[in-house]
């Protein structure tokens, strides 16, 4: 075998063992197929030097050695042109081959056999990769099967203590035939029920199952699964990208779907929906006018609903009666690699941790396809989530949806969500207040270690369930829209970059202590958001008391064994009001510790000072701080305040909780923060929206005067005995605290107009 051909052969062997599937046109040595004979241009195996045999061997057989044939290696320009054309058209016709031959100064046969060898090379490589993947899956299933056999063999009856399976399980053909018949009956019943829910005819559904047009999705199988918990959720790896473990999933409780019953669904139908949703998302992200109408100046884009109806067909049913459409699109550069963001979005826990003020609950119901390797190409999973705005006047949106990830090239991914209904027809919660049309993001890696993210949000919701104070915010898209997702994403990754820096403001603290303190602040902010939105994660009970206003939500729950908060009866009260001042002005006032005594009852009228602060992003407002009140009669107080603050284009947050000084010292030394008991209170600021014309912008500029929306929330322990009864006096006390705090803020800022906007 010649040196050149042997080198090419070894290189192709290394490529075949590579563990990551690539798109057509990659992981390929163009020089290997580029070596063709100059005399006739053929690329078949008989023409390669390695197929001619060794000269020494032929001489030993008594025959004169053959003259070594010359080969032609294409130059880089020819290889580049052939590769580019191959990506667009792997099967060129005669006319295209003649054009390539003329343009590249190659014979037509050389062009023909280059493409033949190229296709053969890719087919062989993909088959090898697929074999490796299938072998890994087979080994995994074999190991799981062995574990199940061992568990069955060693099972012990709890009542009598004898083996639960005394004899070997029979695998006789007759028994297998009976079991097979039973399973077929179950499958037929499930198929009929599935087709009934999906509105499809049984004959067409069963006779012509829809095959998957994509690899990695075995979609022509109808499945019936039982789910009593969530599957596919990676709880062992919750570290966020960039290497800094911002929490370990401890702040996000393990959650179950809202249903736990026999759940039949047609896998092929879900794949069809996923592919259609992906196609729509890509077009929504790329198309411009007339689908998207640009506002005046730097105004937001508005979806042209008439053009949308002409361009796309609805594949999840007609728009429910009385629902309103909201659609937004936003593009931004984010300081992370694309695959890191893909990994975060495809993990329910990490996704919820990345957007804690937008997602109060997230769970993976089932993983239909885990995708190809680390790229997550063709990953498809069923999910359920609760989306929230930090206001008690906006109901939580509980949505079941499928999430589909597709890698479109080496550096481009797309992830799409679309609502589905897995419940039976008797379930009245089907799209109860919202449904999500194809929404998601297109992620493109850039050369500067940034990613270009284009986010599209498209939903239909029941506007009658939303208080009129918040309707302009939602209709503008700043409640659940793309601008809010992008703003949160940029702030979170800027925060992670800041936390990776060795420079820390304030007293000396090691990395372990900083992480422990940030975990405590993360749990505090998450519990505050859950209390505002009445998430189903915490078992809140709504209270209706005569003296409490309609715009105030009062809830209660009992803590019996959670060490992360005081034991007893917890009362939560929250409301939202209109403030005729800018977001920046209100945020600066509420986070200023020197002005805190003007509204905070915990300060006892004394000024407060910041003992310690950890910056979480650019600017002075994004940080976690420890506050301490001024000493009284020369003695230091033992009660400190943990506070987290941040602000971006779509809102701001000030959340705090009293903590014991000794507990904070343990946390700052790297101790476990999960046993620090705290109850959060605080403020969420939502931007005011100018709704005149198609350009709708949030009011965060100092030069505007329309105002913003302030949400005030308190969580207070009203009785340390969990079995005690809640009294009306306790509810009225917390309601009075809420009202007084708003009035004090109004007085301090000389605001004369509070309340709702008509």
The domain total for the chain is: 3
Q: Give the pLDDT of residue 700.
A: 43
Look at residue 432 in the predicted model and tell me its pLDDT.
Answer: 74
Of the residues 500, 525, 545, which one is the last residue of a structural domain? 500
Decide if 662 is inside a domain.
yes
End-to-end Cα distance, the chain: 86
Determine phi and psi for 459, rounding to 5 degrees: -140, 160
Are residues 478 and 531 located together in one domain of the fold? no
- Can you give the CATH number for the domain in which 465 is found? 3.30.530.20
Per the structure block, which two tokens stand in for 102?
């003329």
DSSP result, 512-559: HHHHHHHHHHHHHHHHHHHHHHT-TTS--EEE--TTS-TTEEEEEEEE
Residue 525 confidence (pLDDT): 92
Is residue 494 in a domain?
Answer: yes
User: Residue 70 domain-assigned?
Assistant: no
CB-CB contact of 33 with 114 (8 Å): yes
Residue 276 placed within a domain = yes
Tokens of 588: 């600066």
Provide the pLDDT for residue 291.
92
Residues 472 and 354 in one domain: yes
Q: Which pLDDT does position 587 carry in this prediction?
A: 93
Task: State the residue range of the domain holding 104.
Answer: 80-134
Rounded to an integer, what distance in angstroms lies between the CA atom of residue 714 and that of residue 734? 8
pLDDT of residue 108: 86
pLDDT digits (tens, 9 = 90+) for 632-689: 555 556 778 999 999 988 899 999 999 988 888 888 888 888 889 999 999 999 988 7
pLDDT of residue 131: 85
SS3 string of 174-231? Answer: HHHHHHHHHHHHHHHHHHHHHHHHHCCCHHHHHHCCCCCCCCCCCCCCCEEEECCCCC
Which of 446, 468, 500 corresponds to the end of one domain? Answer: 500
Same domain, 380 and 441: yes
CATH code of the domain covering residue 127? 1.10.10.60
pLDDT given at position 281: 95
Residue 121 maps to a domain: yes
> What sign results for the dihedral spanned by CA atoms 577, 580, 582, 588?
negative
- Whether residues 303 and 365 share a domain: the answer is yes
Residues in a beta bridge with 331: 454
What is the CB-side half-sphere exposure of residue 178 using CA atoms within 13 A?
5
Low-confidence ranges of the chain (pLDDT < 70): 1-72, 150-151, 153-175, 177-179, 181-182, 191-265, 296-299, 422-431, 498-508, 546, 630-637, 690-705, 751-758
Whether residues 441 and 494 fall in one domain: yes
Query: Residue 690's pLDDT is what?
Result: 58
Q: Are residues 555 and 631 in the same domain?
A: yes
Whether the model clears a pTM of 0.75, i.e. scores above it, the answer is: no
Domain boundary among 90, 114, 134: 134
Q: Are 48 and 35 in contact (CB under 8 A)?
A: yes
Q: Are 341 and 372 within one domain? A: yes
Q: What is the rounded CA–CA span in Å between residue 755 and residue 579?
A: 8
Q: Which of 685, 689, 709 is nearest to 699 (CA)?
A: 689
CB atoms within 10 A of CB 485: 24
Same domain, 636 and 677: yes
Quick one: pLDDT at residue 144?
A: 73
Do 547 and 637 sit in the same domain of this protein?
yes
193 occurs within a structural domain: no
650 and 597 fall within a common domain: yes
Instruction: Write down the pLDDT at residue 607.
Output: 77
Same domain, 408 and 526: no
Is 582 a domain residue? Answer: yes
Q: What is the three-class DSSP state of 102?
A: helix
Does 336 reside within a domain?
yes
| Judgement on whether residues 394 and 542 belong to the same structural domain of the protein | no
């Amino acid at each position: 075998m010649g040196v050149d051909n042997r080198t090419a052969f070894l290189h192709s062997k290394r490529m075949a063992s590579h563990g990551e599937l690539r798109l057509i046109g990659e992981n390929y040595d163009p020089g290997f197929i580029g070596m063709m004979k100059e005399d006739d241009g053929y690329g078949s195996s008989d023409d390669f030097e390695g197929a001619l045999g060794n000269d020494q061997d032929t001489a030993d057989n008594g025959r004169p050695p053959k003259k070594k044939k010359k080969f032609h290696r294409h130059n880089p320009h020819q290889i580049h042109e052939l590769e580019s054309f191959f990506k667009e058209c792997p099967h060129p016709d005669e006319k295209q081959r003649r054009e390539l031959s003329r343009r590249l100064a190659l014979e037509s046969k050389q062009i023909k056999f280059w493409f033949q060898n190229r296709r053969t090379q890719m087919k062989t490589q993909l088959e090898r990769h697929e074999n490796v993947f299938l072998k890994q899956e087979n080994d995994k299933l074999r190991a799981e099967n062995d574990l199940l056999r061992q568990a069955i063999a060693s099972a012990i009856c709890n009542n009598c203590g004898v083996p639960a399976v005394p004899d070997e399980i029979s695998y006789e053909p007759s028994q297998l035939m009976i079991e097979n018949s039973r399973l077929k009956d179950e499958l037929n019943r499930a198929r009929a029920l599935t087709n009934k829910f999906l509105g499809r005819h049984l004959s067409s559904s069963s006779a012509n199952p829809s095959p998957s047009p994509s690899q990695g999705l075995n979609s022509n199988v109808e499945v019936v699964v039982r789910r009593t918990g969530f599957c596919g959720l990676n709880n062992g790896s919750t570290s966020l990208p960039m290497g800094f473990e911002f929490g370990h999933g401890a702040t996000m409780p393990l959650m179950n779907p809202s249903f736990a019953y026999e759940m039949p669904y047609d896998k092929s139908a879900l794949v069809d929906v996923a592919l259609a949703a992906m196609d729509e998302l890509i077009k929504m992200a790329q198309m411009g006018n007339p689908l998207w109408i640009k506002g005046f100046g730097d105004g937001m884009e508005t979806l042209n609903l008439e053009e949308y109806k002409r361009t796309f067909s609805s594949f999840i049913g007609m728009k429910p009666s009385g629902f309103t459409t909201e659609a937004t699109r936003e593009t931004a550069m984010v300081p992370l690699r694309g695959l890191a963001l893909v990994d975060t979005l495809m993990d329910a826990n990490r996704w919820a941790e990345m957007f804690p003020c937008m997602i109060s609950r997230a769970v993976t119901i089932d993983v239909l396809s885990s995708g190809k390797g680390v790229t997550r190409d063709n990953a498809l999973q069923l999910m359920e989530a609760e989306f929230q705005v930090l206001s008690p006047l906006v109901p939580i949106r509980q949505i079941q949806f499928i999430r589909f990830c597709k890698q479109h090239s080496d550096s481009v991914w797309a992830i799409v969500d679309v609502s589905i209904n897995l419940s039976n027809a008797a379930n009245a919660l089907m799209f109860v207040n919202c449904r999500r049309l194809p929404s998601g993001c297109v992620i493109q890696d850039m050369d500067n270690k940034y990613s270009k993210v284009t986010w599209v949000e498209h939903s239909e919701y029941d506007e009658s369930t939303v208080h009129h104070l918040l309707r302009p915010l939602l209709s503008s898209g700043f409640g659940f829209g793309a601008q809010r997702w992008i703003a949160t994403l940029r702030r979170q990754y800027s925060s992670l970059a800041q936390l990776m820096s060795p420079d820390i403001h304030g007293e000396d603290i090691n990395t372990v202590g900083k992480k422990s303190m940030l975990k405590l602040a993360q749990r505090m902010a998450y519990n505050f958001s859950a209390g505002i939105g009445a998430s189903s994660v915490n078992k809140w009970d709504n209270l209706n008391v005569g003296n409490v206003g309609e715009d105030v939500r009062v809830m209660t729950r009992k803590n019996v064994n959670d060490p992360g908060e005081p034991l007893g009866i917890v009362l939560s009260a929250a409301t939202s009001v209109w403030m005729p001042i800018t977001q920046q002005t209100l945020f600066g006032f509420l986070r200023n510790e020197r002005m805190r005594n003007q509204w905070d009852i915990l300060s006892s009228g004394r000024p407060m000072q910041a003992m310690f602060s950890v910056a979480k992003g650019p600017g002075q407002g994004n940080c976690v701080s420890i506050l301490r009140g001024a000493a009284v009669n020369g003695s230091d107080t033992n009660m400190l305040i943990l506070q987290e603050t941040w602000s971006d284009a779509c809102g701001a947050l000030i959340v705090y909780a009293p903590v014991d000084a000794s507990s904070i010292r343990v946390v700052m030394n790297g101790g476990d923060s999960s046993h620090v008991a705290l109850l959060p209170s605080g403020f969420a600021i939502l931007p005011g929206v100018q709704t005149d014309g198609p350009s709708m912008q949030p009011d965060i500029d100092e030069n505007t005067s329309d105002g913003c929306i302030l949400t005030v929330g308190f969580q207070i322990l009203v009785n340390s005995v969990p079995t005690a009864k809640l009294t009306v006096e306790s509810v009225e006390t917390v309601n009075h605290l809420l009202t007084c705090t708003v009035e004090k803020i109004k007085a301090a800022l000389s605001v004369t107009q509070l309340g709702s906007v008509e």
